[in-house]
Amino acid sequence: MSKTNKSSSGSRQRQAYLLRVFRKIHRWTGALLFIFFFAIAVTGGLLGWKKNTGDLILPKTRTGTQTDLRQWKPLHKLYAAAEAYYTEHYPAEAYALDRLEADPDKGVLKVVFTPGFVGIQVDGGSGEILHAGKRNSDLFENLHDGSYVDDLLGWGGVFKLLYTSLMSLALVLFTITGFWLWYGPKRLRRQRKG
């Protein structure tokens, strides 16, 4: 057997071995992380559609009477109006302010409370309640990035960091091994012909 044939045969054997290794890595990573990939895919899809589902996933932003922030009522009064509405319509033993989102272009202050991610939209100019409803997108986002589990465990962001790092690395690994599982056999066939 000539040197060229020996080196060509050795090269094909190395590539076949590499294909087997990549196939195992791809298969085991997929099997071990299946539930996480599934959750990320479903919640990511829902988050992508959040503004196109009416008020089902994320309530549409209503329009207030005043887009000039200088003409808005003081922030503490707008918050007080939202808090009063929340305590009247969503009784809970304990609640907390999750965040405030000002949308001056629409003249609205969004006040989000937990538990339940209830969003209350307050007219910045008049202080009237424009809309109140559940923000399911916040729950989906917390499931998507691992914050939900992190909060359950009380790890202060550690789980979320580990989870997002692991899933990012797994996706890179899937991309590399998946590409090689597609390209490797084509390369082997070319080498056999040549």
Mean pLDDT value across residues 107-132: 96
Instruction: Write down the pLDDT at residue 16.
Output: 84
172-178 long-range CB contacts below 8 Å, 24 or more apart? 173/25, 173/26, 173/29, 174/26, 174/29, 174/30, 176/22, 177/22, 177/23, 177/25, 177/26, 177/29, 178/26
Closest CA to 44 of 121, 129, 140: 140
What per-residue confidence (pLDDT) applies to 61?
Answer: 96
6-10, 41-45, 51-55, 171-175, range with the lowest pLDDT: 6-10
pLDDT of residue 132: 97
pLDDT at 4 over 60: no
Predicted confidence at residue 24, as pLDDT, reads 92
pLDDT, mean of residues 86-103: 91
pLDDT of 191 reads 78
Model confidence at 47: pLDDT above 60: yes
Question: Where in the chain are the domains?
Answer: 3-193
Residues recorded for the chain: 194
**Whole-number pLDDT of residue 14:** 87
Average pLDDT over the chain reads 91
Indicate the pTM of the whole model: 0.78
Mean pLDDT of 42-65: 96
Q: Return d(Cα 96, Cα 43) in angstroms, integer.
A: 25
Rounded mean pLDDT, 148-173: 95
Comparing 178 with 121, which gets the higher pLDDT?
121
Give the residue among 128, 12, 115 at the shortest CA–CA distance from 64.
128
Give the pLDDT band (50/70/90) at residue 10. confident
Taking residues 71-82, report their average pLDDT: 98
